[in-house]
């Protein structure tokens, strides 16, 4: 695995070593000793998976009392993944990191606690999977409106399909 740091403290893009042959491919997507050696939180307590159709946009979600670090990958399809730094005092507060994740590029992103997160589906369907460092607490779920004009996020989709809950978030 290769770990590429970003300008966002603690946010890392992981390039696994993919072994391809005529049967398909194999790679390690997570290895606790490697994460621990890099100082990345690896105490994952919940795994989530979502199947979404093209132009679905989910987010931007976060928890305040129970913030979650996330290890994110796309099992099938292609998405544009966004992590928005909401850590007060951070030099990158209010800035976002965006990356295309797919079943072809096999990139994995580690997003530390203190980020709002969302993604838009670019392929016909996508299976999105992520590990969390804390469990989901519905009473602590918060969000930021996906098209907040101050963020200037290019979600790489036209006419996104968004849940009523996500449409109700404030900028």
117 labelled catalytic: no
How many angstroms separate the CA atoms of 119 and 102, rounded? 12
Using the structure block, give the residue that is written with the tokens 């994995």: 108
d(CA 46, CA 20): 29
Annotated catalytic residue within 62, 80, 96, 130: 130
The sign of the CA dihedral 33, 39, 45, 50 is negative
- Given 25, 61, 66, 117, which residue is catalytic? 61
Terminus-to-terminus CA distance in the chain, angstroms? 37
Please say if 130 is a catalytic residue. Answer: yes
Catalytic residues: 61, 130
């Amino acid at each position: 695995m290769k770990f590429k740091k970003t300008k966002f403290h603690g946010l890392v893009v992981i390039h696994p070593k993919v072994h391809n042959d005529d049967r398909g491919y194999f790679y390690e997507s997570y290895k606790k000793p490697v994460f621990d050696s890099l100082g990345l939180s690896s105490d994952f307590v919940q795994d989530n998976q979502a199947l979404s159709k093209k132009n679905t946009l989910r987010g931007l979600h976060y928890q305040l009392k129970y913030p979650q670090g996330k290890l994110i990958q796309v099992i099938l399809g292609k998405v544009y993944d966004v992590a928005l730094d909401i850590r007060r005092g951070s030099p990158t507060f209010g800035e976002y990191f965006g990356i295309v994740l797919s079943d072809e590029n096999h990139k994995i992103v580690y997003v530390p606690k203190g980020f709002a997160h969302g993604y838009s589906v670019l392929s016909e369907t996508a299976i999105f999977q992520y590990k969390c460092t804390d469990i989901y607490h519905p009473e602590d779920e918060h969000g930021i409106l996906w098209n907040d004009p101050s963020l200037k996020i290019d979600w790489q989709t036209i006419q996104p399909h968004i849940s009523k809950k996500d449409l109700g978030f404030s900028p």
